[in-house]
């Protein structure tokens, strides 16, 4: 999949993605060790347990998954084939991609053409944990050919709901390149425990804490908890925008934190001792008529909202599912450096 901002409405400008699909799921196998004969060659000493460690997958197997995903993505985008997409995509990413398929008809011709254009992943760096790490996923640092000047992306492939790997998260960096991940002597990355606090927060608390930027502009806790970044400042700006001009005199707009559709969090140790995290997050956006206007007026849903519920009503509630990228510092505040949402429902 490839996602970068497009020219759609200001509220969704930073919340846009292009969905993907793959024709067939690919089962990965762990790296195999040497044969018994290899062990006997030259009377080599018995290998230590550490030396015999295997990767969760081989680099070749991981490469095959990404290749297949990339190739078929271009066909799936052209057809908006949700069934095809679901064979190799899951998690929070899949929620967003399904929304793109639903809302595609409301996009401009330019956006539709861009969405359906072929691309491929370049400069791939496979981040593979050891088989004994206790996790079921691997990641890839890469960039999309359609965005050669971008900062790159972090893709996560996990065995969610089956025996095959599907892409569950994909976040494109907005504020500098993806940081260098720590690797051991055998080239394996080290996953971090999402429930273990790193500095101010544990990785699995990021989404819940961050939503305060939308609910209160960060005034309750978020401004004190998180380092100020371009991403957090944009969230505050969105929180303060209020209703569009055509309804501003008649309605109020509020945000409320919500549960991510898929709560799994992914975390990796960085070379500098910090922790890189891809996390899910969610909120609802409520546009409500002021009490004195409820008896005589209704809110007309936008074209995108009408795809889910075209009824004119006193309150329009939009649900947004998101995913973000953050760096947690044991000696400082967490930095959220990328964040993308999709409206997945309106009621």
Q: Where are the domains of the chain?
A: 10-30+54-346
Q: Which of 97, 50, 107, 106 is nearest to 262 (CA)?
A: 97
- Other Cβ atoms less than 10 A from the Cβ of 261: the count is 15
Q: Looking at the predicted structure, is the pLDDT value of residue 325 above 70?
A: yes
pTM, rounded to two decimals = 0.85
Expressed in angstroms, the distance from the first to the final Cα of the chain is: 28
pLDDT surpasses 70 at 261? yes
Instruction: Give the Cβ contact number of residue 153 at 10 Å.
Output: 23
Residues paired with 283 in a beta bridge: 257, 320
Give the least confident one: 48-62, 253-267, 313-327, 331-345. Answer: 48-62
Tokens 């080239």 belong to: 187
For residue 30, the model assigns a pLDDT of: 40
Q: Does residue 29 surpass a pLDDT of 90?
A: no
Average pLDDT of 14-31?
A: 34
Question: Measured between alpha carbons, how far is 126 from 124 in angstroms, rounded to an integer?
Answer: 6
| CB 163 within 8 Å of CB 153 | no
């Amino acid at each position: 999949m490839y996602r970068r901002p497009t020219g759609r409405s200001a509220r969704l400008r930073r919340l846009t993605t292009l969905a993907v699909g793959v024709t067939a799921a690919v089962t990965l196998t762990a790296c195999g060790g040497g044969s018994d004969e290899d062990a006997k060659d030259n009377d080599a000493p018995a290998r230590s347990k550490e030396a015999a460690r295997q990767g969760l997958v081989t680099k070749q197997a991981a490469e095959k998954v990404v290749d297949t995903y990339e190739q078929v993505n271009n066909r799936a985008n052209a057809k908006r084939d949700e069934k095809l997409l679901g064979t190799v995509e899951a998690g929070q990413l899949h929620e967003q991609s399904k929304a793109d398929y639903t809302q595609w008809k409301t996009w401009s011709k330019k956006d539709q053409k861009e969405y359906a254009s072929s691309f491929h992943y370049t400069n791939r760096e496979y981040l593979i944990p050891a088989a004994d790490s206790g996790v079921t996923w691997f990641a890839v640092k890469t960039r999309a050919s359609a965005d050669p000047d971008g900062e790159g992306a972090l893709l996560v492939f996990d065995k969610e709901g089956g025996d095959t790997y599907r892409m569950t998260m994909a976040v494109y960096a907005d504020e500098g390149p993806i940081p260098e991940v720590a690797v051991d002597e055998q080239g394996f990355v080290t996953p971090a425990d999402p429930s273990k606090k790193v500095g101010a927060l544990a990785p699995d608390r990021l989404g819940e804490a961050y939503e305060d930027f939308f609910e209160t502009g960060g005034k309750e806790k978020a401004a004190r908890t998180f380092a100020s970044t371009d991403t957090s400042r944009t969230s505050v700006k969105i929180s303060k925008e209020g209703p569009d001009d055509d309804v501003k005199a008649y309605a109020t707009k509020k945000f409320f934190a919500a549960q991510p559709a898929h709560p799994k969090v992914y975390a990796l140790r960085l070379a500098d001792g910090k922790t890189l995290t891809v996390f899910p997050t969610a909120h609802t956006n409520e546009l409500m008529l002021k009490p004195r206007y409820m008896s005589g007026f209704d809110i007309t849903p936008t074209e995108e909202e009408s795809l889910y519920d075209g009824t004119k009503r006193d309150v329009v509630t939009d649900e947004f599912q998101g995913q973000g990228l953050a760096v947690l510092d044991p000696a400082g505040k967490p930095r959220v450096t990328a964040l993308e949402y999709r409206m997945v429902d309106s009621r």
